[in-house]
Amino acid sequence: MRKPIIAGNWKLNKTIDASIELVTLLKRELSDVDEVDIVVCPVFTSLSAINDVILESNIDMGAQNLYWEDSGAFTGEVSAPLIKDAGCKYVIIGHSERRQFFGETNQTVNKKIKAALASGLLPIVCVGEVLEERETGKTFDVVKTQVTQSLAGFTPDELSKFIIAYEPVWAIGTGKTATPQQAQEVHKFIRGIIAEIGNDEIAAALRIQYGGSVKPDNIKELMSQEDIDGALVGGASLKPDSFIALVKGAL
């Protein structure tokens, strides 16, 4: 049985105070949930403050990005050991906004995953096609390339630490959700790729999140699909009521 995982990607939103306010409410309202892994991914500047709030709670924290070198002359970057030191368990790698606006490629994603694993962080690796690729029938080719190149060179033991987020880019922040069937067929396809590059056991245990305009009113139908094991949520993770409803909807 794969334990569902709901992660809130707060993107570039919220001051330290606003982050503390949100996570304090989540902690109070979700304290009795133990059948779902709950993750919040605030901006870097809030990590340490959030860590103080979630200590000894059922909420874990993730960063939204990292740089693959541990330290040195890399002005403006934040590394895996520092993210770990701030209290993170997870890190999102290769989000489509990073690919689109900051030149992230499958090769940089691969380096970042290596750095995350070396520091004991669990990578949430994002893949997904843009609208034109879906409309021209290239979804499976694109996702296969992203998964195989991003995950190249990892041992079965390392692969067992991954979470993959399938996020069709045309569904992120647009209000358009992939239908549960559209999502399911790509999730199943990704699980098949993991069986090829890892093995059947790792593929069966791998958690694959769906992301793209997930809301309280569509989470149940998405989660009812065999290969959907949770959600990576942007907009609907910024308000306590909707994130609480999403977590409860995944139960």
Contact with ligand PEP (CB under 6 A) among 39, 234, 244, 246: 234
Q: Of residues 95, 97, 104, 129, which has the active-site annotation? A: 95
Residue whose Cβ sits closest to ligand PEP:
234
Residue 95 and residue 126 in contact, taking contact as beta carbons nearer than 8 Å: yes
**235 binds ligand PEP per the rule CB under 6 A:** yes
- What is the C-alpha separation between 206 and 229, in angstroms, rounded? 9
Angle at 61 between CA 60 and CA 63, to 5 degrees: 155
SS3 125: strand
**104 binds ligand PEP per the rule CB under 6 A:** no
**167 binds ligand PEP per the rule CB under 6 A:** yes
- For residue 127, the cross-strand partners are 166
Comparing CB distances to ligand PEP, the nearer of 9 and 108 is 9
Hey, what are 145's tokens?
Answer: 């390339």
Stretch that binds ligand PEP, among 47-55, 76-84, 127-135, 167-175 (CB under 6 A): 167-175
Residue 155 and residue 149 in contact, taking contact as beta carbons nearer than 8 Å: no
Stretch that binds ligand PEP, among 44-52, 116-124, 154-162, 205-213 (CB under 6 A): 205-213
Q: Does the annotation count 95 as an active-site position?
A: yes
Q: Does the annotation count 104 as an active-site position?
A: no
Among positions 2-21, residues that touch ligand PEP (CB under 6 A) are 9
**156 binds ligand PEP per the rule CB under 6 A:** no
Comparing CB distances to ligand PEP, the nearer of 116 and 171 is 171
Task: Provide DSSP, 128-162.
Answer: ---HHHHHTT-HHHHHHHHHHHHTTT--HHHHTT-
